[in-house]
Amino acid sequence: MGAEKKWLFTFFLATLLSLILLLFSTISAFTASRLLPSSVHRGLHHPPAFSYYIYGGHGDKDRIFRLLLAVYHPRNRYLLHLNHEASDGDRQQLAAAVKSVPAIRAFGNVDLVGKPDRMTYSGSSYIAATLHAAAILLKIDSGWDWFITLSAKDYPLITQDDLAHVLSSVRRDLNFIQHTSDIGWKESKRINPIVVDPAVYLARRSQIFHATEQRPTPDAFKIFTGSPWVILSRSFLEFCVLGWDNLPRKLLMYFTNVVWSQEGYFHSVICNSPEFKNKTVNSDLRYMVWDNPPKMDPHFLHSSNFDQMSQSGAAFARQFQQNDPVLNMVDKIILNRKPNRPTPGAWCSGWNSWWTDPCSQWGDVNVLKPGFWAKKFEKSITNLYDELSSQPNQCK
């Protein structure tokens, strides 16, 4: 008799749980079905919107999905790129994971590059892939304000509500791009050598190779270098992609044969353009830890870096190893994000519990609710803005 009661009780709990899950899925489906595209408002009288280019290679599908959820907001646009090193199976699994998120299904604001580009990080194919992503985002969405590049090794240090709230008070034609004309040793090591990136013409993987000859430093334009991680305005990207001036194309031809061209292409275009050279903020808004003098890449960040990283006032940080415990600290303490769920924002109106995602239901997606960490980011932006106002010539 006791065994029979235990079986009945277990059956009752299973049935009740099924009914609860069915109820929540029905509510989510109803919420999605009543959503209209007009519910997302763009323009100067509304918070800024961002287009994200998130990329990675072999073994990065889970990292890209986690990063997407960490920076997701219905007002933004996202383009995910698993390059040629990843398998078609990885791309299919990433697409399936993206479609499993109710908000993404409803807003339809996440796309994947179907035909992957070949990329050599130190070669010009990296710039080609970035310009390709910018062209796609310009074509599929006409309302975003800034273009943000992230790799699978990056992670946000603020929520999207924080980011949009703080940048609401910033001119939307500004570009956050760390740059300098003091190229120093790079002139002889990276500017004058002539290199060829085989990824632009070979189907198989191959490393760049160096020509025996070198070329003199240009005198038709000035070379600028800096961080490859950029936040660029829509107007500047239209200048680069649509090209009513020949400068972006001319510099693209030159940087095709420059090693680490991603450290100089956008920087040189913007600082040689009379229209855009004074629309630059000399910062990439990233937290990174470098050797002195810097090596090829910054250090991997771990839990020991969390206090300094969280207090830095940066919007993003890099680089992280996959599933490092410090990412869980960022999720819990800064983003208030649970596994396999988007970062909550003012747009999320669902019940938050261990079995339900508050972002499976939503209200007004144009409302922002900045949190505690927005104040540190706002202080950084204020300092950068004061510096911008005090210097009439931004590109030096």
**Which residues does 166 contact at the CB level (< 8 Å), separation at least 6?**
370, 374, 377, 378, 381
116-120, 144-148, 323-327: least confidently modelled range? 116-120
Read off the pLDDT of each residue in 34-38 and give the average, rounded to a whole number: 45
Model confidence over 328-362: pLDDT tens digits?
999 999 999 999 999 999 999 987 766 789 999 99
Model confidence over 135-161: pLDDT tens digits?
999 999 989 999 999 999 999 999 999
**Which residues does 113 contact at the CB level (< 8 Å), separation at least 6?**
79, 80, 81, 82, 132, 133, 136
Q: Helix, strand, coil shares of the chain as percentages rounded to 5?
A: 40, 15, 45
Measured distance CA(83)–CA(388) in Å, rounded: 37
Model confidence over 228-274: pLDDT tens digits?
999 999 999 999 999 889 999 999 999 999 999 999 999 999 999 99
Read off the pLDDT of each residue in 201-213 and give the average, rounded to a whole number: 79
Measured distance CA(353)–CA(254) in Å, rounded: 55
Cβ atoms 263, 226 nearer than 8 A: yes
Cβ atoms 69, 337 nearer than 8 A: yes
Stated pTM of the model: 0.89
pLDDT of residue 296: 73
**Which residues does 164 contact at the CB level (< 8 Å), separation at least 6?**
47, 48, 49, 50, 73, 75, 368
CA dihedral (382, 385, 387, 392) in degrees, to 10, reads -160
pLDDT of residue 62: 97
Measured distance CA(58)–CA(371) in Å, rounded: 35
